[in-house]
Amino acid sequence: MEKNTKIYIAGHRGMVGSAIWRALEAKGYTNLIGKTSAELDLKNQVAVSDFFETEKPEVVIDAAARVGGILANNDYPYQFLMENMQIQNNLIDYSLKADVQKFIFLGSSCIYPKLAPQPLKEEYLLTGPLETTNEWYAIAKITGVKACEAIRKQFGKDYISLMPTNLYGTYDNFDLNTSHVLPAMIRKFHEAKVAGEMKGSTCSEPVELWGSGTPMREFLFVEDLADAVVFALENQFQDNLYNVGTGVDLTIKDLAELIQKTVGHTGEIIWDSSKPDGTPRKLMDVSKMTDAGWKAKVGLEEGIKRTYQWFLENQETFKQVKI
């Protein structure tokens, strides 16, 4: 891959896309393209067609998606299904038509069946029912994986799909209505800590969290995913689908206690077991990426500290960050 290769990063303003942009710049890539949603509506076929005809990117990295946690997926199932399919289908189809040779599609570990054996292997795709709380997003992502696989099979192009585990990090979404579990916890613990301090109390206000705390989850720092994308860009992979994660998980309860300690919250944690837990466990088998020569570098405790520090430094602006 030449350093002046024209690389289009769809979703370059989001947490994932911006991390990929920074990683590519750090490696010396000089010809990066990014468009905001106001500049280019990826759901609009004509606009996407015109973009490819004008810009002629040589490589496309698809980090654009409508994302959110359990609440957002439950409240907006149609948008999570349709908008994600529109975005990725336009990008994949017009990349093929424009003869883009390398395409990296980013998905999610939620594409795998709810009760698949653990850890999750790539071959478990489409072997059972999905988790109902995010099946709309998962189905959209599965269609993207299969579209890239079909292009690879039929046209011989280097189109690959990377499926990251649960992501977190700098430029994360901390909106409690749409965020994922880890950034939501950071904000909840922080605000409860501040509320206690404002009352002059030595103890933080209690924090209520969804579920039982027993499900197990794996978390990947977003800069590690960006590093994996650069690795995939610079290397030829043999297959079309690769899991990206740490290969290590923990209970949501343990996660909450780690974040509580990092933030300095001293109050009670109240678990609302009437709320859904989601998938009981979702650990990725990352042996294919390991065999290819890549593995994660940032540990969870370090990653949470770095994410909380970013949160503290951006409290006045993070709500306005365009995802």
Tokens 């990929």 correspond to what residue? 20
The residue written with tokens 């088998």 in the block is 285
**Would you say 42 and 89 are in contact if contact means Cβ atoms under 8 Å apart?**
no
List, in sequence order, the alpha helices (H) in 235-282.
252-263
Q: Say if residue 57 carries a ligand binding annotation.
A: no
State the DSSP H helix or E strand holding residue 167, giving kind and residue range, or none if neither: strand 166-168
Is 165 annotated in a binding site? The answer is yes
106 annotated to bind ligand: yes
Tell whether residue 265 is among the known ligand binding residues: no
Q: Find out whether 280 is annotated in a ligand binding site.
A: no
**222 neighbors 169 (Cβ within 8 angstroms):** yes
Q: Is 12 annotated as a binding residue?
A: yes
> Is 210 part of any known ligand binding site?
yes
Task: Say if residue 109 carries a ligand binding annotation.
Answer: yes
Residue 305 annotated in ligand binding: no
How many Cβ atoms from other residues are within 10 Å of residue 197's Cβ?
14
Could you tell me if 77 and 188 are in contact, meaning their C-beta atoms sit under 8 angstroms apart? no
200 is in an annotated binding site: no
Q: Residue 177, annotated ligand binder?
A: no
User: Could you count the other beta carbons within 10 Å of the beta carbon of residue 20?
Assistant: 30
The reply to whether 239 sits in an annotated binding site is: no
Question: Would you say 16 is a known binding-site residue?
Answer: yes
The Cα–Cα gap between 167 and 69 comes to 12
Q: Would strands 59-62 and 102-106 be described as parallel, antiparallel, or unpaired?
A: parallel
167 annotated to bind ligand: yes
State how far the Cα of 73 lies from the Cα of 67, in Å rounded to an integer. Answer: 8
Query: Would you say 80 and 136 are in contact if contact means Cβ atoms under 8 Å apart?
Result: yes
Is 168 annotated in the active site? no
Is 225 annotated in some ligand binding site?
no
Cα gap 88→65, rounded to integer Å: 8
185 labeled binding residue: no
- Using DSSP, state whether 224 is helix, strand or coil: helix
Bridge partner residues of 167 (DSSP):
220
Q: Is 11 annotated among the ligand-binding residues? A: yes
| SS3 of residue 318 by DSSP | helix
Answer yes or no: are the C-beta atoms of 117 and 94 closer than 8 Å: no
To which H or E segment does residue 209 belong? Answer: strand 207-210
Question: Among residues 137, 168, 171, 308, which one is catalytic?
Answer: 137
* Binding site feature residues for substrate: 188, 210, 217, 277
* Binding site feature residues for NADP(+): 11-17, 106-109, 141, 164-167, 180
* Binding site feature residues: 11-17, 106-109, 141, 164-167, 180, 188, 210, 217, 277
Known catalytic residues are 137
